[in-house]
């Protein structure tokens, strides 16, 4: 059985100010007070701008104002905070990059692998090259971004992910896909899933239905705020996860595979 502590997770589902990082930082700073002392706080994809293809105009440096703000907020509330934003990497490329800001002042990141072709994201951003596994209180957490959800091989981790994390701007037009794929990822990986989407409409007129959620390893919902805005918290049981994997060890029969370089 697991000796890990339980994990307190907070999701922030909200509208976003279109292409206005300062306004979004101020908005989230207020909401983060309600997430104080959670182990992990998850913000939406491109939380500082909305899902914009204006990468060259909106990109921040790796040590830019939103990165600094995330670290300040993580220290202020005593939680790891994550969410993606538009970053210009050291090599000059633009990335849809999830930042993982720890209270101790350190940052980790994951670059979105699957760029949303139907919006032209692949023309404005460079794809991520590698999967990332982050450790939090003994939990193995795998961050992924929006369109990544459609690609089960990229979501697989033979090393035993405990929590799959998806941050998204997933339009209401395809909410059925979101609500069906998330339980599938939980079931096939025998792990918890936490997924955060936005609400409201963006500057292109696309509406978003929210549907943020936390699911257990059987795909059952632990937290479903629907279309409501706010901060939503739940607790993940390490003992329940360990007991289920011992009782139903399907991972032992998983097919071996390797990922080729893109």
CA distances from 33 to 78, 127, 143, 240 (A): 10, 33, 23, 29
At residue 235, φ and ψ (nearest 5 deg) are: -120, 130
Closest CA to 212 of 164, 177, 163, 170: 170
Q: Cα–Cα distance between 120 and 53 in angstroms, integer?
A: 8
Helix 21-32 with 65-77: angle, nearest 10 deg: 10
User: Among this protein's residues, is 4 annotated catalytic?
Assistant: no
Whether the Cβ atoms of residue 15 and residue 49 lie closer than 8 Å to each other = no
DSSP, res 35: G
Catalytic residue list contains 129: no
Active-site entry in 45, 60, 82, 121 = 45
15 among known catalytic residues = no
Note whether 44 and 12 are within 8 A (CB): yes
- The catalytic residue among 4, 112, 121, 191 is 112
In the set 4, 121, 146, 191, the catalytic residue is 146
Catalytic residues: 45, 112, 146
């Amino acid at each position: 059985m697991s000796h890990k502590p339980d994990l307190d997770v907070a999701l922030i589902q909200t509208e976003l100010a279109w292409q206005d990082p300062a306004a979004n930082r101020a908005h989230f700073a207020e909401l983060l007070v309600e997430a104080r002392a959670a182990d992990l706080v998850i913000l939406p994809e491109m939380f500082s701008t909305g899902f914009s293809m204006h990468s060259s105009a909106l990109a921040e440096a790796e040590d830019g104002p939103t990165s600094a703000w995330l670290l300040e907020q993580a220290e202020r509330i005593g939680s790891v905070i994550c969410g993606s934003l538009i970053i210009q990497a050291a090599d000059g490329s633009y990335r849809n990059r999830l930042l993982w800001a720890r209270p101790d002042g350190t940052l980790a990141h994951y670059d979105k692998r699957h760029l949303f072709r139907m919006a032209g994201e692949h023309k404005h951003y460079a794809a991520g090259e590698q999967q990332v596994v982050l450790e939090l209180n003994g939990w193995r957490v795998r961050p992924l971004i929006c369109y990544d959800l459609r690609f089960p091989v990229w979501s697989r981790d033979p090393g035993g992910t405990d929590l799959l994390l998806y941050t998204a701007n997933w339009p209401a037009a395809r909410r059925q896909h979101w609500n069906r794929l998330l339980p599938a990822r939980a079931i096939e990986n025998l792990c918890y899933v936490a997924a955060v989407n936005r609400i409201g409409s963006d500057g292109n007129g696309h509406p978003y239905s929210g549907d943020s959620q936390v699911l257990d390893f059987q795909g059952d919902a632990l937290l479903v705020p629907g279309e409501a805005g706010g901060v939503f918290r739940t607790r993940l049981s390490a003992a329940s996860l360990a007991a289920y994997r011992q009782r139903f060890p399907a991972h032992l029969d998983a097919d071996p595979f390797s990922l080729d370089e893109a």
